[in-house]
Structure 1
């Protein structure tokens, strides 16, 4: 089993991606035992040996300073892997979560952040050659204890004025990540659910484009 392209790298149509016992995912086709890209996009592999190419038109590429909404998908020895809706996973080091010293021998990282937790984070290091590094140590960042996350397509946009109107109407707070995710934080639970329904309906009708 051989992979010819680096994870997260830009690939062109018909590019040879891998050879061997892999699984075909999005944007990949197979000829005998060889796997090729169907279109221009970013090459991505996962832990199940599935090969994917994410279309470049819909992909989020991190930029240092971006505020992103992420989901914890893996816990390491001293870090977390974060899904940030990109070909690249975010890496959150323990040192970028809290300021006080932590004894890794005595501390279960799941007590700080567990798989499935939603976070608001900032991209602090990224250079296209490795997964971006994140931080949640700054003000207004961190684990989201209560809220609802929506994913938007590249074409769907919410202006600052529209966001303020929705916040006032439904008594909630809205955080828009650069990675095309929207977080609705309720002040009253039923109002937040109404805000979600309102946003989805207006997106379907094309009113936010």
Structure 2
């Protein structure tokens, strides 16, 4: 295994000479200095994961196909870890030589994390009616750390936003968001989402978003 997630103090090697960036040596052994992704080469470097999306089972995500193998689509999920979408997780039975007909390199898709094993092998699925290839609408990207604020308590913020802007919205836990509707409605949805991202740390955000939407919709009428 070339890479794995480590936390400060994890033992990485008993060979002090392998110490690299993000590590420290104590009593001749190499330990991780931070929370990150340990890269095991001649020297061991730990790449910080702060601010990076780490997938978890059950997460909805938006991915982009980056490669196709005999039985898997390799999917960029805006994470240090790629997602693997096995041919068996496609919603209809297809053969290996047909894979690129359905999902090409560069295709964007709404998918779900089916499983994550201890080595951070990320398995994806499309076996849900709300999942699939993105053919229309727009995809934007915000910090994944702002996603909980966009969704709101019990889904309150995103439900209100969908209703007010009259758009379909799929929120990926990896910070990618799909929006589909009329051109002006999508523009308003995007401006509102970016405002939520910008002010996610502040109090009274819901009231300000409601006021913002009323003002913007009033200006259009």
Task: Quote the offset at 1:16 in angstroms.
Answer: 7.4
Structure 2 CA distance for partners of 1:53 and 1:176, relative to 1, 3 Å: same
The number of residues matched between the two structures is: 181
Deviation per residue, 1:166-192 (Å, 9 max, x gap): 2122211112223333222x2212311
Q: Does 1:129 align with 2:108?
A: no
Contact 1:72 1:118 in 2 (8 A): yes
Pair 155,13 (structure 1): closer, same or farther in 2 beyond 3 Å = farther
Report the equivalent of 2:184: 190
Give 3-state SS (helix, strand or coil) of 2:88's partner.
helix
- Structure 1 or 2: more helix by fraction: 2
Answer with 78-87 or 8-17: which moved more: 8-17
Alignment match of 2:52 (pick from 47, 59, 79): 59
1:149 counterpart = 2:134: no
The answer to whether the Cα contact below 8 Å between 2:34 and 2:46 also exists between their aligned partners in 1 is no
Which residue number corresponds to residue 128 of structure 2?
138
Shift of 1:60: 2.8
- Structure 1 runs of 4+ aligned residues shifted over 6 Å read 13-17
| 2:26 matches 1:36 | no
State the shift of 1:14 in Å.
11
Q: Distance in 1 between matches of 2:88 and 2:126?
A: 10
Q: Which residue of 71, 77, 82 corresponds with 2:75?
A: 82
RMSD: 3.0
Normalising by the residue count of structure 1, what TM-score does the alignment of the two structures yield? 0.71
The residue matched to 1:58 in structure 2 has which SS?
Answer: coil
Q: Which residue of 1 aligns with 2:174?
A: 179
